[in-house]
Amino acid sequence: MRVQRGTALLVVMVVVVMMALAAYGFVYMMQAEYSSVSFAREHAQAREACLSGQDYGLLWAGLSRGQRQSQLQASSKQDLFAAISLERNEFDELTPGWSFSLLSPTPGQLGNRGWQFGLVDESSKLNLNALRQWDEQSPGHASVALSALPGISEFQVGQILNALGLPSQGSQTQGESLELENSPANSDRRSQFLNTTESGNTTSVMGVRTAPVRSLTDLVFSGAVDYEQMWGSDHDRNYLDDQFAEAIKTVEDEYADLFSTEGPRPEDFSGETLEMGSPWRDLLTFHSAEKNLTHDGQPRIWINHPSLSELQQKLLEKWPSEWVEFLLAYRQYGPADESFKATSSASGWVADLSVQGTVPIESVFDLVGATVAVPVSSGGQAALNSPFQEVTNEPSSWIHALLDDITVSEKTVLSGRVNVLLATPEVLSAVPGIEASLAQAIVQKRGEIQGSPEDQRSVGWLLGHQLVDLSTMERLAPYLTMGGNVYSGQVIGFRDDYSAFYRCTAILSAVGQPKALQIERWHAWGRGFQSIELRQGATPQDALEEASGL
């Protein structure tokens, strides 16, 4: 009997233990499931916060130059782009809510050692798509423009031109071996490896790239540019030099014997590019563009409009009648011949709008200093002199009106123009007609322009401040801008250091239909930033200390 009772007790204990284990397993599974669902919910919330940040960036990119200027004057970049809150907990103000921040690399920093709140205007970079048009206008200029990049070799210029489908000038010809060009000075051994056939024989890089190059990543994959040249050692995209870069190189050196003799070796990729002044990601783009609008966001007046009455009405809203009548006269009769001799004065002349405007204006500078032979009621022709006359050693009061109010292009979007206020000397030197000395003069002078609302209107301040003469201004104007509508940077959706986060880099284009281009996500590389950095000190602890008066 006692044995039976002991057995029953043992069975009951086993059953109880198994039920407890089952209950514990169920509870553990439920907790794991709850944690998984909670993390998935937080990840979705972080993603939505990041997408809200992209929309915010697109809104910023779509503002006019004047609106952006006013915003930056009224608020700091931290106020505009740091920790923009998406929710407010009225019952717990100390708990941070979901927010987003917009970041970009700090201009002028050595390597990848700094970041700032805000976005980068893509027009501050050299648009590689514009090189084709520049090269058509001035054969060989694409090669000259690329040569301005820091640390580039002549051979690498040829590689990039080939990747872009442009003819190279003075570079390697079809069928030549790469071995003659393979020197430590130009660091082309990685490209040599990429262009080696199965038999081990090297072929010309001129026939390697078959897919179109549409991004900086494509340019790296084409073998024309090294990874380190394009992005430096910033593998995790937090705009700082990676601390493990040297450790990786040490490991590669230690296991160098594992590399194939036919492939690249660690010593082929010296760390020289890590010390370059600025990664090429800060100098090159494929997407710079702007709306054909004035500084205050109004459509520029197309002066080749077929209806002179409509043109007159729009011009009179901005210009004095003297300016308007001369432009209309130019459209009707064109510039006077050098042999023209006036028979009477054209003072007070008014255009007869029944006469069609058949003379197109190729450049707004055609109006400067011109004379038009206009008919007068007394018979014969009179000379109507342009109100736009260059005055030596004095600012030209009309230059911003010509470059900001009107346009000779019917296009609504202008692509590839370089931002004269933000571009580095290397990018400015790539513009047709800008020598290195002029690029440096522009960089030194433009600090004064930031505080001048009038000079902010157009690139005409180059003429007004006598950095260039009128003929040079006419040549440079089609290549320059004061700001575009395409921006790039990193958008981060976050709450605190313990919740899920979502961060990505993107190009935000507000030309045409606003949209985010070339989105790249960086979750695999970690958070990259602490929440205290993204909030610039706006932490719960700070709020607690402020509330308690500490």
The pLDDT of residue 395:
66
Last residue of a domain, one of 359, 385, 411: 385
pLDDT tens for the chain, 550 residues long, are 555 667 888 888 888 888 888 888 777 787 777 777 777 888 899 999 999 999 999 999 999 999 999 999 888 899 999 999 987 665 555 667 899 999 999 876 555 568 999 999 999 999 999 998 898 888 889 999 999 888 888 889 999 999 988 887 544 333 232 222 223 333 343 333 333 333 333 333 334 444 678 899 999 988 888 888 888 888 888 888 776 655 665 665 666 555 444 444 434 433 333 344 578 999 999 999 999 999 999 999 999 999 999 999 999 999 999 999 999 999 999 998 877 776 666 777 888 899 999 999 999 999 999 999 988 877 778 889 899 987 765 667 899 999 999 999 999 999 999 999 999 999 999 999 999 999 999 999 988 887 778 888 999 999 988 899 999 999 999 999 999 999 999 999 999 888 889 999 999 999 989 999 999 999 888 888 988 899 875 444 444 344 344 3
Buried b (16+ CB within 10 A) or exposed e, 438-455: bbebbeeebeebeeeeeb
Q: Which residues of 33-59 are buried (b: 16+ CB within 10 A; e: fewer)?
A: eeeeeeeeebbebbbebbbbbbebbbe
Question: Both tokens of residue 244?
Answer: 């493990």
Six-digit token string for 64: 């006019």
Quote the CA–CA distance of 414 and 482 in Å, as a whole number.
12
Instruction: Indicate the DSSP class of residue 298.
Output: P
What sign has the CA pseudo-torsion 140, 142, 144, 146?
negative
Contact 449, 421 (CB under 8 A): yes
One domain, residues 82 and 146: no
Residue 295: inside a domain: no
* Domain assignment present for 435: no
Hey, what's the torsion of the CAs at 326, 330, 331, 335, to 10 degrees?
Answer: 180
Beta-carbon contacts of 109 under 8 Å, excluding residues fewer than 6 positions away, are: 278
The total number of structural domains in the chain stands at 3
Q: How big is the CA angle at 252 (ends 250 and 258), to the nearest 5 degrees?
A: 145
- Domain encompassing residue 140: 126-287
The residue among 365, 385, 405 that closes a domain is 385
Closest to 45 (Cα-Cα) out of 117, 94, 100, 104? 100
Report d(CA 135, CA 196) in Å as an integer: 30
pLDDT for residue 191: 38
Separation between Cα atoms, residue 154 and residue 276, nearest integer Å: 17
- Which of the 8 DSSP states describes residue 124? G
User: Does 142 share its domain with 249?
Assistant: yes
Please check whether residues 278 and 181 belong to one and the same domain: yes
Q: What is the pTM of this model?
A: 0.81
Q: Enter the DSSP assignment of 405.
A: I
The token pair at 148 is 């301005």
pLDDT at 188: 40
Residue 383: Cβ within 10 Å count: 17
Q: How far lies 80's CA from each of 53, 96, 362, in Å?
A: 11, 18, 41
Termini Cα distance of the chain:
75
Collapsed DSSP state (helix, strand, coil) of residue 373: strand
Whether residue 393 lies inside any domain: the answer is no
Residues 273 and 176 grouped into a single domain: yes
Closest CA to 489 of 517, 531, 514: 517
CB proximity list for 506: less than 8 A, separation 6 or greater = 54, 57, 488, 489, 490, 491, 516, 517, 518, 519, 520
Whether residue 391 is contained in a domain is answered as no
| Any domain includes 379 | yes
Residues 270 and 380 in one domain: no
152 found inside a domain: yes
Q: What residues pair up with 432 in beta bridges, in sequence order?
A: none
- CA dist 482 and 131 (Å) reads 20
- Whether residue 306 is found in the same domain as residue 352: yes
Q: Of 360, 385, 410, which residue constitutes the final position of a domain?
A: 385
49 and 90 in a single domain? The answer is yes
Say yes or no: 212 and 135 in one domain: yes
Residue 440 counted as domain residue:
no
> Within this chain, do residues 213 and 282 fall inside the same structural domain, yes or no?
yes
- 323: in domain: yes
- Kindly state whether residues 172 and 276 are assigned to the same domain: yes
User: According to DSSP H, which parts of 450-536 are helical?
Assistant: 461-464, 470-476, 531-535
Based on the domain organization, do 113 and 217 belong to the same domain? no
- Distance separating alpha carbons of residues 414 and 47, to the nearest angstrom: 33
Residue with tokens 């779509």: 62
Which residue in the block uniquely carries the two structure tokens 């007159």?
312
How far apart CA 98 and CA 58 sit, in angstroms, is 20
Q: What angle do the packed helices 321-333 and 308-316 form, to 10 degrees?
A: 160
Residues whose CB falls within 8 Å of the CB of residue 12, separated by 6 or more in sequence, listed in order = none
Residues 6+ apart with CB under 8 A from 521: 502, 503, 504
- 531 vs 537: CA distance, rounded Å: 9
Do 82 and 141 belong together in one domain?
no
Q: How many CB atoms lie under 10 A from the CB of residue 8?
A: 10
